[in-house]
Structure 1
Amino acid sequence: MRQALISDITWVTEGVLSGKGCAISLRDSLIPRRAYVDRIRAIAAKSGIPHQLEVEGSGGSDAKELQHAAAPWDWCFIGAPEDQVHSPDELVHKGDIASMLALYQVLMREL
């Protein structure tokens, strides 16, 4: 295997809003290979599925294990934004989950 999609939940922030579609992460504490992310962004734009771009300076995902592996991997995090994280009142917009699932279906065909 040479490429991976990291499927998880991200946080609602000032740049990633609830109800605007799943988030494609351009970077967090790690930086995925730009060519791979650009390919995913092009597929997402062509699909018409609602999505938004996420740029974070900290935090991370399971991509850390891939990034630090001996073999090179292309990877990208794509997930629905969650509000009120780590509380009894966590919220994820149903439309964001729907866009995440739809985008994954397209990416699994196109990648």
Structure 2
Amino acid sequence: MFQTIILQAESGGLMSMLPFAAMILVLYFFMIRPQMNRQKKEKAFQAEIKTGSKVITSSGIHGKITEVNNTDNTVTIETGAGKMKFERSAISMELSKKYLAPAVKK
């Protein structure tokens, strides 16, 4: 009689942990994992930046890369206001014709 009560109590404890484990899995697959993939893509983009690319910085400044300095990881960007020097990590995305093309209507 005591053994069945103990077994029921142990399985009840395990079943009460199931919703928490499910929430952690949902958070991982819908929030953490996509963010990690986005960061990997951004780091790969920042590593292959080249002169002449039109880019947007993380602060929203649009410009064209005029110089890439690999020794101190900086880039010089020409904007409407003149030339500015940024860290390579401040470049957030490329602004190319592919991204600016209007959507094709069918």
Tell me the TM-score range normalised by the shorter chain: under 0.3
* Greater share of helix: 2
Structure with higher Rg: it is 2
Structure of greater relative contact order (alpha carbons < 8 Å, 6+ residues apart): 1
Alignment TM-score, normalising by the size of structure 2: 0.20
